[in-house]
Structure 1
Amino acid sequence: MPENNIAVVILNWNTRDILKNYLPEVIRHSRYPGTTIVVADNGSNDGSCELIEKEFPEVQLIKLDKNYGFAGGYNRALLQIKAKYSVLLNSDVVPAPNWLPTLFRHMENNSDIAATVPKIKSMKDQSVFEYAGAAGGFIDKWGYTFCRGRIFDTLEKDEMQYQESGDIFWGSGAALMVRTELFNQTLGLNEHFFAHMEEIDWCWRMKNQGLKIHYVAESEIFHLGGGTLNAMSSHKTYLNFRNNLFLLYRNLPEKGLQRKLFWRLLLDGVAALKFLLSGEFSNVRAVLRAHRDYFARLPYLRKERKILRTKVTQETHKEIYPGSIIMDYFIRGKKYFRDLNFPEI
Structure 2
Amino acid sequence: MDVSIIIVNYNTISLLINAVDSVLEKTKDIMYEIIVVDNNSDDNSQFIISQKYNNQVNYIALADNIGFGRANNKGIEVAKGRNIFLLNPDTILQNNAIKTLSDFLDDNSSVGVAGANLYNDDGTFQPSFSQMYPSLGVELSNLFHLMFLQNKQCVNESEKAIEAKSVVGAAMMIKKEVIEKAGVFNPEFFMYSEEEEWCYRIRKKGFNIFNVPLAKITHLDGKSFQFSENRQKRRLDGVRTLYKVSYNGLYCTLLKIVEYITIVSRLIIFKILKKDQKINYWLFMYKNRKWHI
TM-score range normalised by the length of the shorter chain: 0.7 to 0.9
Per the alignment, residue 289 of structure 1 pairs with 288
Measured after TM superposition, the shift of residue 204 of structure 1 is 1.6
CA RMSD between the two structures: 2.9
Per the alignment, residue 104 of structure 1 pairs with 102
Q: Once the two structures are superposed, what CA deviation does each residue of 1:292-339 show, in whole Å capped at 9, x if it has no partner?
A: 31xxx4xxxxxxxxxxxxxxxxxxxxxxxxxxxxxxxxxxxxxxxxxx
Amino acid at match of 2:153: R
1:192 is aligned, of 188, 193, 198, to 188
Per the alignment, residue 233 of structure 1 pairs with 228
User: Does residue 136 of structure 2 align to residue 138 of structure 1?
Assistant: no
Per the alignment, residue 84 of structure 1 pairs with 82
Contact 2:240–2:291 under 8 Å retained in 1: no
Amino-acid identity (%): 21
User: Does residue 29 of structure 2 align to residue 32 of structure 1?
Assistant: yes
Structure 1 residues 35 and 163 mapped into 2: Cα distance closer, same or farther (>3 Å)? same
Structure 2, unaligned stretches of length 5 or more?
143-149
1:67-216 equivalences in 2 (<5 Å): 67-123=65-121, 125-126=122-123, 128-130=124-126, 133-134=127-128, 136-139=129-132, 141-142=137-138, 146=151, 148=153, 161-183=157-179, 185-216=181-212
Amino acid at match of 1:291: K
Give the total of aligned pairs: 276
Measured after TM superposition, the shift of residue 46 of structure 1 is 0.8
- The 1-side partners of 2:103 and 2:68 are apart by 27
Amino acid at match of 2:288: R
TM-score, length of structure 2 as denominator length: 0.82
TM-score, length of structure 1 as denominator length: 0.70
Per the alignment, residue 41 of structure 1 pairs with 38
Contact 1:238–1:287 under 8 Å retained in 2: no
Q: Once the two structures are superposed, what CA deviation does each residue of 1:170-221 show, in whole Å capped at 9, x if it has no partner?
A: 1111100012343355342223321111111111222233321111121111
- The 1-side partners of 2:108 and 2:33 are apart by 23
Measured after TM superposition, the shift of residue 289 of structure 1 is 3.0
Measured after TM superposition, the shift of residue 90 of structure 1 is 0.7
Contact 2:18–2:92 under 8 Å retained in 1: no
- The 2-side partners of 1:242 and 1:68 are apart by 15
Amino acid at match of 1:137: S
Q: Once the two structures are superposed, what CA deviation does each residue of 1:262-287 show, in whole Å capped at 9, x if it has no partner?
A: 43443344456678863665763455
Contact 2:117–2:214 under 8 Å retained in 1: yes
Q: Once the two structures are superposed, what CA deviation does each residue of 1:108-161 show, in whole Å capped at 9, x if it has no partner?
A: 1222222110111112x11x112xx33x223263157856356xxxxxxxxx83
User: Does residue 220 of structure 2 align to residue 244 of structure 1?
Assistant: no
- The 1-side partners of 2:46 and 2:74 are apart by 17
Structure 1 residues 148 and 192 mapped into 2: Cα distance closer, same or farther (>3 Å)? same
**Secondary structure at the residue paired with 1:31?**
coil
- The 2-side partners of 1:241 and 1:24 are apart by 33
Structure 1 residues 257 and 17 mapped into 2: Cα distance closer, same or farther (>3 Å)? closer
- The 2-side partners of 1:37 and 1:187 are apart by 21
